[in-house]
Structure 1
Amino acid sequence: MEVLEGDFHPAPEPPAGLGEQAAQLWRDIVDAQELRSDELRVLEDACREVDLIERMHAELHAAPLVVRGSMGQDVANPLVQELRQHRALVARLLASLKLQDDDQEERDALARQQQARRAAGVRWRGSA
């Protein structure tokens, strides 16, 4: 496909204030995909969640996994549950972008090609 002048849009830079891992996620996605403005907003939200996860992970790394609950009982550190919820949110946000998987596209094209060959073979053998 020929790229005409004006068709090329450079990948947008990561939003200001993103941490290293979040900025890398941004670059990896926008370099591989062309996203609409609403999708860029969802991606930014996912990247900000990644930053939050990194901060919580650092806090949890220095904290005990088991803490004292309101009744004096041992309970899991609340950050464990928070991390799980924020990781699930990142997964949902990224899934909502419906990013194309180049490998999946190639597998789908190969499967369609093989199906067409089988159909052609059936037609050819049927007309003989």
Structure 2
Amino acid sequence: MELIQGADGLPEPRVELGARGYELWRAVLEDHELRTDELRVLEDACREADLIERLEEGMRGAPLVVNGSQGQPVANPIVQELRQHRALVSRLLAALKLSDAEQQERDAGRRSQQARKAAMTRWNRA
């Protein structure tokens, strides 16, 4: 997969994204450098974000309860679809294992403290 760099140096998505998808794309890539396989996962998450936006637009003004196949009241099927697509975006982004710089610093500090404590324990045994 050949990556095309934008004017700002960030990779451009291979497919056309809507506003919400492109916003997610840029937000992630401004803070993280991703491998090619990770870019594909991000692209999928962005496309899902665009689909969620379209589903949300479809729900505006629509009833939450509609008639089912036998005339019984049921939840609007779009509500279920929204829930499933939101969960998928969450799983896709979790698969990227993105962490912010502050979290990385806290983790590094915690590891450093643990290493220092272990070294002092070894030193005191000798």
Counterpart position of 1:47: 46
Counterpart position of 2:94: 95
Counterpart position of 1:113: 112
Taking every aligned residue pair, what percent have the same amino acid on both sides?
62
In structure 1, distance between residues paired with 2:9 and 2:55: 33
CA 1:114–1:83 in structure 2 vs 1: closer, same or farther (change >3 Å)? same
In structure 1, distance between residues paired with 2:115 and 2:44: 42
In structure 2, distance between residues paired with 1:100 and 1:43: 14
Deviations 1:68-111 (A, max 9, x none): 01111100000000001111111111122222332221111111
- Work out the number of aligned pairs and report it: 119
Deviations 1:45-83 (A, max 9, x none): 111110110010111122000000111110000000000
Counterpart position of 1:65: 64
Q: With the length of structure 2 as denominator, give the TM-score of the two structures.
A: 0.82
Query: Which consecutive unaligned segments of at least 5 residues does structure 1 have?
Result: 1-8
Q: CA deviation at 1:15?
A: 5.0
Q: With the length of structure 1 as denominator, give the TM-score of the two structures.
A: 0.81
Counterpart position of 1:6: none
In structure 2, distance between residues paired with 1:117 and 1:93: 36
Q: CA deviation at 1:16?
A: 5.3
In structure 2, distance between residues paired with 1:15 and 1:103: 30
Q: Is the 8 A contact 1:14 1:27 kept in 2?
A: no
C-alpha RMSD of matched pairs (Å): 1.9
Q: CA deviation at 1:124?
A: 4.3
Query: Which consecutive unaligned segments of at least 5 residues does structure 2 have?
Result: 1-7
